[in-house]
Structure 1
Amino acid sequence: MALSRIWSGFILIAIIVASIKCFFFGQSDIFNWMIIGKSGDPGNPLKVDGVIETCWTAVNICLKLIGIMALFMGFMNIAERAGGIRLLSRIIGPFFAKLFPEVPKGHPATGHMVMNFSANLLGLDNAATPFGIKAMESLQELNPNKETASNAQIMFLCLHAAGLTLIPVSIIAVRASLNSANPTDIFIPCMIATFVATMAAMLIVAFKQRINVLQPVILAWVLSISAIIAAMVLYLTTLSTAGLQSFSGILSNGLLLLIFFLIVAGGVYKKIDVFDAFIEGAKGGFETAIRIIPYLVGMLIAISLLRTSGTFDLIIGGLKTVCTYINLDSRFIDGIPTALIKPLSGGGARGMMIDTMTTHGADSFAGRLASILQGSSDTTFYVIAVYFGAINVKNTRYAIGAMLLADLVGIITAISLTYLFFG
């Protein structure tokens, strides 16, 4: 119900704003922009897709997702038949038993969630989505009310959307291409901001679900993970830009190949029909990718209407006016568009980040802030549409509110860290 109200609100607000601009300010082309899109101009070089092209984009995303989903769900099926997922579940079980009390000990969902979090941590977006959808499907098996999100699903999705990532390689690469003097200088703020957002998501949902996060097992795991990340950060800060990108490639892609190797080797050892298991799992990936098309089309057209109607521009203008009125440093406002668009569209936020760095400079305050915001948040509404759409959950309960609140904590942290590091 919450998602329905938000979706309706997006569309109604966008059309109202566009109507006011058309009839009171003479912007007669705005309705055309909303339907067929708007090409870039010197003042705003970003091309904005209209409703029609956005529908094509949504379908193209799902078509591209078919191959990736088929690949990873095929390997996941091999791992399940060979017992690898249950082994992973037993290893991480003591921690997840406290954080996900509704999930039985040793259930495959635990292993699927661990695979998703690991892929996110290493920046493997292509792998994270299939693993995440598989985790949601596993959790759906335990869900007594199939149309309403369970506590475990909400906790998992909020942690996933917080997007804990170790190395924002793509952002570093973009900064390097725009002639940044030090493309990696946003790495530590990104790491801290995304970690804070993840902890905020866990605490918010734990409070709502009355989970005691001060239990020794939870504290031990959180502190251990914090120590490992801190040690990794200290090591990575000693590397050059080229060294950091090389290390990231070896770590993330090498680990992915290692996972493939261990899955196949485990399947051979268990004497299962490895290829048949892969094909069976891959078929499920195809069906899932097709099933999410309506959800993705619906969400993306609402987001497109908000962008093309100029609603975001009004929000930015309003924030600048408020900052000026109360004598507040308004430098951060120029980086905020990335944060506003990121929950709605990953591609749009990436384009906004590049536009901010192109306009103000890659090493400007706004350019660095946009980079940190891009690296420390996730596409909340895309995640909601895809993950809940894959399992046909209609009532998302407080999931959206919790995710947006964690996003807000991440944004505030990112702004604070930008002032602290680059003030």
Structure 2
Amino acid sequence: MALNRIWSGFIIVAIVVACIKCFFFGQTEIFSWMVTGKADDPTNLTKVDGIIPTCWTAVELCLKLIGVLALFIGFMSIAEKAGGIRLLSRIVAPFFSKLFPEIPKDHPSMGHMIMNFSANLLGLDNAATPFGLKAMASLQELNPNKDVASNSQIMFLCLHAAGLNLIPVSVIAIRASQNASDPTDIFIPCLIVTFIGTMAAMLIVSFKQKINLLQPAIIAWVLGLSVIIAALVLYVASLDSTGIKSFSGILSNGMILLIFLLIVLGGVYKKIDIFDAFIEGAKNGFDTAIKIVPYLVGILVAVSMLRTSGTFDVIMNGITQFFVWVGADTRFVNALPTALIRPLSGGAARGMMVDTMTAYGADSFASKLSGVFQGASDTTFYVIAVYFGSVSIKNTRYAVGAMLLADLVGVCTAIGLAYLFFGNFK
């Protein structure tokens, strides 16, 4: 019941901190901020949407998600009826059957998971979520205890949250908008961090589930992926910023159109009722979006209370003072707000990244490290709330701990790589 304790802890800590600020430091407006918000400076941790506006935001997110889910799950329905998902499952079966031993051979969930991982790899957030929710639904069919997360669901979600991503398009775009001299300089560190984070997640969950990773199929797939990533790094490193932007756009958006084309052609070849299959899947997408509203409201409200109460300010001040006390290089501390808030809120972390660039300059060490943090993982608690909520999982077992441990590995790796690429240790 880790998520229950964490959620309760968020609310209790936020209210306690707010009470201390109100009654001991005279910040009487803090309660108003927590409930109604103060939106005149959204990049400031203490000036963000309160509880009520956050509820509206959660519902708005789900409303926007309805269309995306309907579209992509509709196409997934066509692919399933045409046999494309099972074909994909057979292709990845040699690897996934070792990593997910509880899943029967050629089960459609394997195809759904590989579609999700592929979308993540290309930075296609809008496509990754529908594919991931479909994968969770498929895995839930195999789950003997519908209220408790299965081993396969935990492994999938931890790998998904690690966020292996080839090109952090959104981070590069924001750095370009902030007039960074080389907006793409965070590309290689981001790619390495997400790869190491994914490997860490796989090792952590495999250890817990007693899965032997020293099997030929697993080693071959990991080495193959490593070679592909290394080749991509070498190619992209030879491009200028304009070339990288053009390449990323063609790769990501082109892949979506190619997938749609192949799915429709497959449906035509198999002579299925393509539009009827699409509508059937789209209806499921609509139902899924509505189902996750309560879970999303719950997690976003808890995060909002932490932010508006100033709890993150207290944590950051404590971390800064600690590293000053031990005499360590504190340059990385200025980027930590992005890392700390990233597991809780992607939008807030993006705001903190922009705030760091504004305060220290887009080419500063802190700004570059903040960009690596932003592009290095998914929003852990959002993923937990949405994905487990979509299949009504109540007991997440060790999923939260495994994800946060993998996040910690990613943060430490990002700091080390930032010093390697952007500045030397003092």
TM-score, structure 2 as length reference: 0.98
Q: Distance in 2 between the 1:300 and 1:175 partners?
A: 26
Give the 5 Å matches for 1:58-207. Answer: 58-207=58-207
2:41–2:48 Cα contact (<8 Å) kept: no
Seen in structure 2, the aligned counterparts of structure 1 residues 326 and 236 have a Cα distance that, compared at 3 Å, is same
Shift of 1:242: 1.1
Q: Distance in 2 between the 1:330 and 1:207 partners?
A: 34
Give the 5 Å matches for 1:13-412. Answer: 13-40=13-40, 44=44, 47-412=47-412
Q: Distance in 1 between the 2:67 and 2:214 partners?
A: 42
Structure 2 runs not aligned, ≥5 long:
none
Q: Deviations over 1:220-263 (max 9, x none)?
A: 10000000110011001111111111111111111111110110
1:45–1:355 Cα contact (<8 Å) kept: no
Task: Give 1:20's aligned amino acid.
Answer: I
1:65–1:289 Cα contact (<8 Å) kept: yes
2:45–2:310 Cα contact (<8 Å) kept: no
Shift of 1:2: 1.2
Shift of 1:397: 0.1
- For 2:31, what is the secondary structure of its paired residue? helix
- For 1:343, what is the secondary structure of its paired residue? coil
Seen in structure 2, the aligned counterparts of structure 1 residues 337 and 265 have a Cα distance that, compared at 3 Å, is same
Structure 1 counterpart of 2:8: 8
Q: Distance in 1 between the 2:72 and 2:250 partners?
A: 20
Seen in structure 2, the aligned counterparts of structure 1 residues 42 and 256 have a Cα distance that, compared at 3 Å, is closer
Seen in structure 2, the aligned counterparts of structure 1 residues 374 and 43 have a Cα distance that, compared at 3 Å, is closer
Q: Distance in 2 between the 1:262 and 1:40 partners?
A: 47
Shift of 1:38: 1.8
1:40–1:46 Cα contact (<8 Å) kept: no
Shift of 1:40: 3.6
Shift of 1:41: 5.3
Seen in structure 2, the aligned counterparts of structure 1 residues 42 and 140 have a Cα distance that, compared at 3 Å, is closer
2:3–2:400 Cα contact (<8 Å) kept: yes
Q: Distance in 2 between the 1:330 and 1:377 partners?
A: 23
Shift of 1:108: 0.1
Seen in structure 2, the aligned counterparts of structure 1 residues 42 and 57 have a Cα distance that, compared at 3 Å, is closer
1:22–1:28 Cα contact (<8 Å) kept: yes
Structure 1 runs not aligned, ≥5 long:
none
Alignment RMSD: 1.1
Q: Deviations over 1:144-202 (max 9, x none)?
A: 00000000000000000000000011111111111111111111001101110000000
- For 2:106, what is the secondary structure of its paired residue? coil
Task: Give 2:348's aligned amino acid.
Answer: G
Seen in structure 2, the aligned counterparts of structure 1 residues 28 and 400 have a Cα distance that, compared at 3 Å, is same
2:42–2:351 Cα contact (<8 Å) kept: no
Q: Deviations over 1:29-72 (max 9, x none)?
A: 00000001123459949840000000000000000000000000
1:46–1:355 Cα contact (<8 Å) kept: no
Q: Distance in 1 between the 2:117 and 2:315 partners?
A: 33
Seen in structure 2, the aligned counterparts of structure 1 residues 332 and 40 have a Cα distance that, compared at 3 Å, is farther
Deviation larger for 15-24 or 34-43: 34-43
Q: Deviations over 1:305-358 (max 9, x none)?
A: 000000000000000110111101111110000011110000000000000011
Seen in structure 2, the aligned counterparts of structure 1 residues 21 and 96 have a Cα distance that, compared at 3 Å, is same
Shift of 1:378: 1.1
- For 2:246, what is the secondary structure of its paired residue? helix
Task: Give 2:332's aligned amino acid.
Answer: F
- For 2:344, what is the secondary structure of its paired residue? coil
Q: Distance in 1 between the 2:100 and 2:84 partners?
A: 20
2:109–2:139 Cα contact (<8 Å) kept: yes
Q: Distance in 2 between the 1:202 and 1:250 partners?
A: 30
Identity %: 72
Seen in structure 2, the aligned counterparts of structure 1 residues 409 and 287 have a Cα distance that, compared at 3 Å, is same
Seen in structure 2, the aligned counterparts of structure 1 residues 51 and 124 have a Cα distance that, compared at 3 Å, is same
Shift of 1:115: 0.1
Task: Give 2:329's aligned amino acid.
Answer: D
2:342–2:349 Cα contact (<8 Å) kept: yes
